[in-house]
Amino acid sequence: MTINEPWLGGPGSAPPATVVRRAIAPVATAPVTTAPGVAGLALSEWILLAPEPGLVETLAAGCGIMTLVARLLANRGIGDVDEARRFLKPSLASLPDPWLMADARVAAERIARAVIDGEQICVYGDYDVDGVSAAALMHDYLRRVGATPTVFLPDRFRDGYGLHAERLQELCDAGVQLFISVDCGSKAVAAIAAVRARGIDFIVVDHHLLGAERPDVTALLNPRREDCDYPDDGLCAVGVATVLVQALRRALVAAGHSSRETVPGFGDLLQLAALGTIADMVPLRHVNRIFAWHGLRRLGESTRPGVRALATRARLQGKVAADHVGFALGPRINAAGRVASARAAFDLLTTEDPTHAAELAERVELENGKRRRIQGEVVEAALAEAARQVGTEHAVVVVGDGWHSGVVGIVAARLKDRYHVPTFVLGIDAGVARGSGRSIPGYDLVAGLDAVDAAVTGGLFTRYGGHYFAAGLTLPADRIDAFRAALVAHVADVLPPAERVRELQIDAELNVAELHIDLVDAVHALEPFGKGNRKPLFLLRGVVLAEARRVGEGGAWLKAKLVEGDSDRPLWGRRGVGGFGDARLLACGAQAGDLVDVVCRLEANHYQGNVSLQATLVEMARAGSVEVRTRAV
pLDDT above 90 covers a percentage of the chain that reads 74
Q: What residue type is assigned to position 633 of the chain?
A: V
Residue 626: pLDDT above 70?
yes
* Contact between 210 and 142 (Cβ < 8 Å): no
* Contact between 239 and 282 (Cβ < 8 Å): yes
pLDDT (0 to 100) of residue 150 = 97
Residue 156 within a domain:
yes
Residue 132: pLDDT above 50?
yes
pLDDT above 70 covers a percentage of the chain that reads 93
* Contact between 344 and 295 (Cβ < 8 Å): no
Sign of CA dihedral 301, 89, 268, 130: negative
What CATH number corresponds to the domain at position 31? 2.40.50.460
* Contact between 409 and 470 (Cβ < 8 Å): yes
Across 171-194, b (16+ Cβ under 10 Å) vs e yields bbeeebebbbbbbbbbbbbebbeb
Rounded Cα distance between 76 and 91, Å, is: 19
CA atoms within 13 A on the CB side of 115: 26
Residue 415 within a domain:
yes
Rounded Cα distance between 557 and 372, Å, is: 20
43 with 146, same domain?
Answer: no
Residue 169: pLDDT above 70?
yes
What CATH number corresponds to the domain at position 398? 3.10.310.30
Residue 197 within a domain:
yes
482 with 614, same domain?
Answer: no
From 451, 469, 499, the end of a domain falls on: 499
pLDDT band at residue 69 using 50, 70 and 90 as cut-offs: very high
113 with 222, same domain?
Answer: yes
User: What separation in angstroms does the CA of 497 have from each of 71, 342, 394?
Assistant: 32, 40, 8
109 with 236, same domain?
Answer: yes
CA-based nearest residue to 566, from 505, 511, 495: 511
User: What separation in angstroms does the CA of 541 have from each of 119, 334, 630?
Assistant: 66, 40, 14
pLDDT (0 to 100) of residue 37 = 28
CA-based nearest residue to 433, from 366, 465, 479: 479
Contacts by 213-220, CB closer than 8 A, 24 or more apart: 213/189, 214/186, 214/189, 215/185, 215/186, 215/187, 215/188, 215/189, 216/189, 216/192, 217/185, 217/192, 218/106, 218/107, 218/110, 219/103, 219/104, 219/106, 219/107, 219/110, 220/102, 220/103, 220/185, 220/186
Residue 286 within a domain:
no
223 with 148, same domain?
Answer: yes
From 483, 499, 515, the end of a domain falls on: 499
Residue 383 within a domain:
no
Residue 94: pLDDT above 50?
yes
Rounded Cα distance between 226 and 601, Å, is: 39
Rounded Cα distance between 631 and 133, Å, is: 40
Angle, CA 543 vertex, CA 28 and CA 550 arms, to 5°: 60
**Boundaries of domain holding 584:** 20-87+503-633
pLDDT (0 to 100) of residue 24 = 29
pLDDT (0 to 100) of residue 22 = 27
Mean pLDDT, rounded, for 383-397: 93
Residue 449 within a domain:
yes
CA-based nearest residue to 239, from 570, 562, 9: 9
73 with 166, same domain?
Answer: no
Q: What residue type is assigned to position 322 of the chain?
A: A
CA 342 to chain centre: 18
pLDDT (0 to 100) of residue 502 = 84
540 with 423, same domain?
Answer: no
| Domain count along the chain | 3
171 with 261, same domain?
Answer: yes
**Rg of the chain (C-alpha set):** 25
CA atoms within 13 A on the CB side of 107: 31
Higher local confidence (pLDDT), 156 or 223: 223
Question: Using one digit for the tens of pLDDT, what is the confidence trace for 278-300?
Answer: 999 899 999 999 999 999 999 98
* Beta-strand pair 576-582/557-563: antiparallel
Q: Kindly report the pTM of this predicted structure.
A: 0.86
Average pLDDT, the chain: 89
Residue 629 within a domain:
yes
Residue 4: pLDDT above 60?
no
516 with 594, same domain?
Answer: yes
Residue 537: pLDDT above 60?
yes
What is the SS3 string spanning 333-377? HHHHHHHCCCHHHHHHHHCCCHHHHHHHHHHHHHHHHHHHHHHHH
What CATH number corresponds to the domain at position 238? 3.90.1640.30
pLDDT (0 to 100) of residue 257 = 95
Residue 20: pLDDT above 60?
no
Residue 142: pLDDT above 80?
yes
Question: Using one digit for the tens of pLDDT, what is the confidence trace for 469-486?
Answer: 889 999 999 999 999 999
Query: How many CB atoms within 10 Å of residue 458?
Result: 7
400 with 477, same domain?
Answer: yes
CA-based nearest residue to 535, from 616, 595, 451: 616
pLDDT band at residue 29 using 50, 70 and 90 as cut-offs: very low
* Beta-strand pair 432-438/470-476: antiparallel
Cis previous bond, 536, omega within 30: no
442 with 570, same domain?
Answer: no
Residue 374 within a domain:
no
From 225, 247, 266, the end of a domain falls on: 266
pLDDT (0 to 100) of residue 42 = 57
Phi and psi (nearest 5°) for 20?
A: -105, 120
Rounded Cα distance between 593 and 261, Å, is: 68
619 with 510, same domain?
Answer: yes
